[in-house]
Amino acid sequence: MSILCESRDENIAAIVARWKHLTDREPWRSLSPREWVDHLPPLLGAMLDAAVCGAGSHDGRRRVIEAAMQHGEHRRAAGLPVDVLFDEHSELRTAVWQFLTGHIDPDLTDDALEEIIRFDTAGTFAALGSLRGYHRREIERERDWPNEIARLVTQWEQTSLPSSLAD
Successive 10-residue mean pLDDT values, the chain, 167 residues:
82 95 95 89 91 82 94 94 95 90 71 79 94 96 93 89 48
What is the predicted pLDDT for the residue at 164? 44
Of 164, 144, 157, 2, the residue nearest 64 (C-alpha) = 157
Tell me the Ramachandran region of residue 150: left when phi exceeds 0, alpha when psi lies from -120 to 50, beta otherwise: alpha
What is the predicted pLDDT for the residue at 166? 41
Q: How far apart are CA 143 and CA 41, in angstroms?
A: 30
Q: How far apart are CA 118 and CA 57, in angstroms?
A: 13
What is the predicted pLDDT for the residue at 165? 44
pTM flag (> 0.85)? yes
Q: How far apart are CA 117 and CA 115, in angstroms?
A: 5
Q: Where are the domains of the chain?
A: 8-162
What is the predicted pLDDT for the residue at 118? 84
Q: How far apart are CA 18 and CA 102, in angstroms?
A: 12
Helix axes 83-103, 58-77, angle to 10 degrees: 130
Q: How far apart are CA 61 and CA 148, in angstroms?
A: 13
- 41-51: b (≥16 Cβ within 10 Å) or e: eebbbbbbbbb
- Cα of 60 vs its chain's centroid, Å: 12
